[in-house]
Structure 1
């Protein structure tokens, strides 16, 4: 089994070492195995979980929701609750995407206006 140091896990996940410790302390991550010397060692499964947590965090999932997901993921009988939590999060992502589409449209409208003004200014000075 391949294992990773905290620094390697941090580099691969994009989280800081402090965040990894915080996530473990808060129950977002399961307990991380330790080496004979007492150092944390991350498995491929831990890195997969970190990657998924990164995805959830990057899409706006709150720490409270991450904590709930972490708790649920340690109990095989909670799949329906996990599905519900992820469906709720997916709905919030879709809502945010629709909001961002509207914002993008406004930015593009303004950019187009500037381009027209630039062309008009160039045409007037030619």
Structure 2
């Protein structure tokens, strides 16, 4: 089945502008074009778009995603490079998770604080109890 950029946008949540940008940056070398230059997406392209979105959403820069895609095009001689890229990205994601967990701790503490304040009807009671 073939898809237009509008259909791909609707299905992936990526805007047509983003899809065009990714194409311009060389992240979509697998996308076919019609005789008039219109992008034609295939079912198999959705897995690539999902991976690109994953990498982008976890903070990988466009140039690094492009490098990965180039390595894929080069074939098996770049398998080790691709593995290392994903190991580095995993480290970055784990650091993000660690930071988010610290933020979550703070938020949970504030929820507990305000639940106690609401229960007591005043913030003063919670402040007084926590200073003991």
Q: TM-score normalised by the shorter chain: which range applies?
A: 0.7 to 0.9
State how far apart, in whole Å, the 1-side matches of 2:92 and 2:45 are. Answer: 26
Decide whether the 8 Å contact of 2:30 with 2:45 is kept in 1. Answer: no
State how far apart, in whole Å, the 1-side matches of 2:55 and 2:108 are. Answer: 28
Return the offset for 1:39: 1.6
- Higher mean alpha-carbon deviation, 53-62 vs 107-116, is at 53-62
Where does 1:71-82 land on structure 2 (aligned, <5 Å)?
Answer: 71-77=70-76, 78-82=78-82
Where does 1:56-95 land on structure 2 (aligned, <5 Å)?
Answer: 56-77=55-76, 78-95=78-95
Match of 2:50 in 1: 51
State how far apart, in whole Å, the 2-side matches of 1:99 and 1:54 are. Answer: 21
- 5+ residue gaps, structure 2: 126-132
Where does 1:1-126 land on structure 2 (aligned, <5 Å)?
Answer: 2-77=1-76, 78-121=78-121
Q: TM-score, normalised by structure 2?
A: 0.83
Return the offset for 1:41: 0.5
- The aligned length equals 122
Decide whether the 8 Å contact of 1:13 with 1:54 is kept in 2. Answer: no
Higher relative contact order, structure no. (Cα contacts within 8 Å, ≥ 6 residues apart): 1
